[in-house]
A and B are shown apart, each in its own frame.
Chain A
Amino acid sequence: DVKVTQSSRYLVKRTGEKVFLECVQDMDHENMFWYRQDPGLGLRLIYFSYDVKMKEKGDIPEGYSVSREKKERFSLILESASTNQTSMYLCASSGASRGRETQYFGPGTRLLVL
């Protein structure tokens, strides 16, 4: 079974704090993704990575950065958390070839910024 884990299920942070969300997958997938999901707005891609140390901006990268030092681990960083970053954050991974591009999601981190 594919397993994608996220470091926290729930987080409460203060405005201005630096926040780290970590994601680990055990399927040797090349691709990893960070999304946020908000009511009425669906899944929005923040960043994705197709290889170690490689990253590409998604649709809403502002206010976020990412790090991928190892193939199995992809971190999302909120440099200075703001209240409009309160959301559900979902990590996903997938292979990079035809037939392996199904994305598998972690359980999600619900972040509240006060």
Chain B
Amino acid sequence: QKEVEQNSGPLSVPEGAIASLNCTYSDRGSQSFFWYRQYSGKSPELIMFIYSNGDKEDGRFTAQLNKASQYVSLLIRDSQPSDSATYLCAVGGTSYDKVIFGPGTSLSVIP
């Protein structure tokens, strides 16, 4: 059974701080990695995807991938109250069809 795990929440950070969200996966053959954000009562929306080891930056968001450790993380710099949401990690295999979603981590940014 392929699994994706995320650090248990809820995670609370003060406004302006760095929020760090972590995800581990069990399938060594995984090829693609995604972070989705889901506001309460809404559907998930893509924040970032990453395919290669290392860091990928997009504005205040940085995704980090370490395939050897089977670990992917999302850093949110200068956290804002509008970043308060549940963050879902998703991992894709070799078929480009299904991805496996993690259970999500709830983030609360305190003004």
Binding site for B on A (CB under 8 A): 31, 33, 41-43, 45, 48, 50, 58, 90, 94-98, 100-108
Contact = CB atoms under 8 A, between A and B. Distances in A.
Interface stretch (B21-29, B39-47, B60-68, B70-78): B39-47
Contacts of A95: 96
Most A-side CB within 10 Å, residue of B34, B96, B101:
B96
Given A101-B32, A102-B34, A45 B43 contact: no
B97 interface: yes
Interface residues on B, range: 20 to 34
A41 B88 CA distance: 12
Given A31-B97, A42-B101, A97-B96, A104 B46 contact: yes
Counting chain B CB atoms within 10 Å of each CB, which of A42, A50, A96, A108 scores highest? Answer: A42
Interface of B: 31-32, 34, 42-46, 49, 51, 88, 90, 92, 96-99, 101-104
A101 B99 contact: yes
Contacts of A105: 43-45
Contacts of A106: 43
Contacts of B103: 41-42
